[in-house]
Amino acid sequence: MIPVMLGVVLVIFVMLSLSPGDPAVQMLGPDATPEQLEELRDDLGLNDPFLVRYVKYVWNLLHGDLGTSYTTKQPVAKEIFERFPTTLLFTTLACIVGAIVGILFGIVSAVKQYTWFDNVSRVIALIGISVPSFWLGLMFIIWFSVGLGWFPSSGFYGPKYWVLPSLTVGLVQASNVMRQTRSAMLDVVRQDYIRTARAKGQSEMKVIFSHELPNALIPIVTVLGMQFGRGMGGSIISEQVFAIPGIGMLMTNAIGNLNYPVVQGGVLVIALSFSIVNLLIDILYAFIDPRIKSLYSGKKRVRKTKNEFVREPGKESAANG
Amino acid sequence: MANNTVKAAPKKNSQAKEVWRRFKKNKLAVAGLVIIFILIIAAILAPVIAPYGYDDQDYSATLIRFSKEHLLGTDNLGRDILSRLLYGSRVSLTIGFISVGIGLVIGGLVGAISGYYGGVLDDILMRIVDIIMAIPSIILAISICAALGPGLINTMIAVGISSIPNYARILRSSILSIKQQEFVEAATAIGASDARIIAKHIIPNSLSGLIVQASMGVGRAIISAASMSFVGLGIQPPNPEWGAMLSFGRTYFRDYGYMVLYPGLFIFIAVLSMNLIGDGLRDALDPRLKR
């Protein structure tokens, strides 16, 4: 994970250093003299060779320093972590909506395959994956905020403000989750052990929730993790729609101002949290699937017994005796 | 023996026909195909069928919701929304198809090399893909676009590059499974070159996953490009890309909702059609569903 993060920093670094814009000109305006610009570039370290800047950035990064924002002169880390909880909350809420709605509809759809319920929810899910979420957000604002006046349209200050943004992103995510849940469940329902469970008279609820769902869970959890990453990334768009003061908003403004440290920091933090979620999901696999768990614990056990056997065969027999 | 060859020959030729036959049975997929064709024709014929130019401003007719002259209304500069949408389909569809092409070619190449040769090369390429995958694709596309600057070509490059890992991984995994099949071994045994084996034996057999991904990828690319225009990168005004129109209409959308309704509806219809085609292709190409 750490090499991947260093790679992410490198990629973003290369991209932004290829950028034709000059932050110094952006900061001082068009009236600045060439000397002033040169001085500022020196101050910002923009005149250093690429490699020097990269190593410096990584070194500072390891000390928890993401640099200083060009516009506000505040430490980037502080600016980002002030806004991070908002984005995290927003993404998590959306994921919760996506998981609940998606898994529920996916299960029912798979259990009642080819009924009207299945057909309707498949069509809705197809619509859901095709709709641009920012447009859906604007439509929700027109209907529920401007039209009906139920929820506020912008900001993120309390549960009332959370509803529309998390519904917008959550329903789009739910469509993806629903499709995955349905196909994963359908893969499972034709297995022999399901027939066995039915044959021994297990109740339908028990068959679905103790036999089918656990076996279908791996692809469902995988898609949930992906949705979380997409939600994090998509925050750069959806926070614009609902004027949510999170990382996405910070980054959009930073891109406009050529405020590179903030852009780098934002991408890095989002990539990092995405990686952490993926790691958690990999760990979760072990809990879901005993086969994966035994793969890891099995290896360890084999190695241990081997070592004991090779090193101290005498002791073992002594202990036994 | 003779019977066998007679049977095998026409079957090989009609592979595409067979897929098309199964695709045709899926009415929704065919509907998607028809809609995409209509949109493409509308895009090509935009100068002929659009009632106005995309940047013709008429200050005596601003913010009209509906009229005989302006079927979908006009925006705050008096530009006819229908005409802008028709011209916009040129930009949006071009971005959709070309950026998928970029991702498909580069990603396919990376995946093919990585999957076929394996070893150190595979390790290096896949680590690079891992790094790119660690950045959510929309963030990557936006950062690339921020670095390259806005504009049609840069948007296509940005969206294309951010989809490379997708295609690379799909092709790599299907090549890994195909590589072990007997017909590849047979080709190696008769002395076929690597390039020939990849092009003649491996790619055609691993294409189905890629085709499905690509057809859905067009939809995703249209949405990504629209999102980028929406936050002010991507296509710049007065160019009538659908996302840019949405972004432009956002200032007035509380009172004049139709200004954001129609462009979004066009994006939605185009993406939905591509997804329907993708779903249909997946079913048609799935060997398990073959009768």
Winning range, highest mean pLDDT, from A52-56, B167-171, B233-237? B167-171
Q: Per-residue confidence at B1, pLDDT binned at 50, 70, 90?
A: very low
Q: Is residue A304 part of a domain?
A: no
Shared domain for A138 and A194, answered yes or no, is: yes
pLDDT one-digit tens code per residue, B43-97: 888 888 777 777 777 777 677 777 777 777 777 777 888 888 888 888 889 999 9
Least confident of A11-25, A62-76, B201-215: A11-25
Chain B touched by A11 (CB under 8 Å): yes
Hey, are the CB atoms on A135 and B275 less than 8 Å from each other?
no
Q: Are residues A240 and A120 part of one domain?
A: yes
Question: Is residue B14 situated within a structural domain?
Answer: no
| B147–A274 CB contact, under 8 Å | no
Question: Three-state SS across chain B?
Answer: CHHHHHHHHHHHHCHHHHHHHHHHHCHHHHHHHHHHHHHHHHHHCHHHHCCCCCCCCCCCCCCCCCCCCCCCCECCCCCEHHHHHHHHHHHHHHHHHHHHHHHHHHHHHHHHHHHHHCHHHHHHHHHHHHHHHHCCHHHHHHHHHHHHCCCHHHHHHHHHHHCHHHHHHHHHHHHHHHHCCHHHHHHHHCCCCHHHHHHHHHHHHHHHHHHHHHHHHHHHHHHHHHHHHHCCCCCCCCCCCHHHHHHHHHHHCCCCCHHHHHHHHHHHHHHHHHHHHHHHHHHHHCHHHCC
In angstroms, what separates the C-alpha of A55 from chain B's closest C-alpha?
A: 18
Query: Angle, to 10 degrees, between the axis of helix A50-62 and the axis of helix A2-18?
Result: 140
Average pLDDT over residues A304-315: 45
Contact B142 A16 (CB under 8 A): no
Asked whether B46 and B90 are in contact (CB, 8 A), the reply is yes
Q: Is a pLDDT exceeding 70 seen at residue B210?
A: yes
How near does any CA of chain A get to the CA of B133, in Å?
A: 9
Q: Containing domain of residue A45, as a range?
A: 2-62
What residues of chain A, 123 to 162, have a C-beta less than 8 Å from chain B? 126-127, 129-132, 134-135, 138-139, 141-142, 146
Q: How far is A2 from chain B (nearest CA, A)?
A: 10
pLDDT at A30 exceeding the cut of 80: no
Domain limits for position B148: 25-41+78-289
The answer to whether residue A314 sits within a structural domain is no
Query: Mind listing the pLDDT tens digit for each residue in B101-136?
Result: 999 999 988 998 888 888 898 889 988 888 888 888
pLDDT tens digit string along A141-158? 888 887 787 878 777 777
Do A45 and A114 lie in a common domain? no
Longest C-alpha distance within chain A, in Å?
92
Give Cα B269 distance to the centre of its chain: 14
Check residue A9 and give its pLDDT.
Answer: 83
Average pLDDT on A195-223 reads 87
In chain A, the number of structural domains is 2
Which whole number is the average pLDDT over B217-233? Answer: 88
pLDDT of residue A51 exceeding 90: no
Q: Is the pLDDT of residue A128 over 70?
A: yes
> Do A233 and A93 share a structural domain?
yes
> From CA B228, how far away is CA B230, in angstroms rounded?
5
Candidate from A128-132, A157-161, A300-304, B64-68 with smallest mean pLDDT: A300-304
Q: What is the pLDDT of residue B221?
A: 92
Judgement on whether residues A87 and A218 belong to the same structural domain of the protein: yes
CATH number of residue A155's parent domain: 1.10.3720.10
The pLDDT score that the predictor gives to residue A162 is 86
Low-confidence winner among A26-30, A52-56, A256-260, B273-277 (lowest mean pLDDT): A26-30
Domain co-membership, A121 together with A16: no
Would you say residue B62 lies in a domain? no
Instruction: Closest CB to B272: pick one of A127, A233, A251.
Output: A127
- Between CA A262 and CA A299 the distance in angstroms is 44
What's residue B100's pLDDT?
Answer: 93
Residue A66 banded pLDDT, cuts 50, 70, 90? confident
Q: Are residues A235 and A155 in the same domain?
A: yes
Q: How confident is the model at residue A321 (pLDDT cuts 50, 70, 90)?
A: very low
Shortest Cα distance from A192 to chain B (angstroms)? 19
Task: Give domain status of residue A318, yes or no.
Answer: no
The number of domains in chain B is 1
Report pLDDT for A170.
Answer: 92
Of B134, B142, B246, the CB nearest to A135: B246
A51 and A89: one domain? no
Please indicate if any CB of chain B lies within 8 Å of the CB of A20: yes
Whether residue B261 lies inside any domain: the answer is yes
For residues A32 and A175, membership in a common domain is answered with: no
Distance between CA atoms of residues A27 and B184, nearest Å: 60
Q: How many CB pairs under 8 A join A and B?
A: 130
Same domain, A125 and A183: yes
**What's the pLDDT score for residue A299?**
52
Residues of B in contact with A279 (CB under 8 A): none
Confirm whether A268 is domain-assigned: yes
Among the partner residues B136, B146, B261, nearest to A233 by beta-carbon distance: B136
Nearest CA-CA distance, residue B210 and chain A, Å: 18
In the predicted structure, residue B24 carries a pLDDT above the cut 90: no
The enclosing domain of B159 has a CATH number of 1.10.3720.10
Q: Within this chain, do residues A111 and A49 fall inside the same structural domain, yes or no?
A: no
Looking at the structure, do residues A156 and A188 belong to the same domain, yes or no?
yes
User: CB–CB of B109/B171 below 8 Å?
Assistant: no
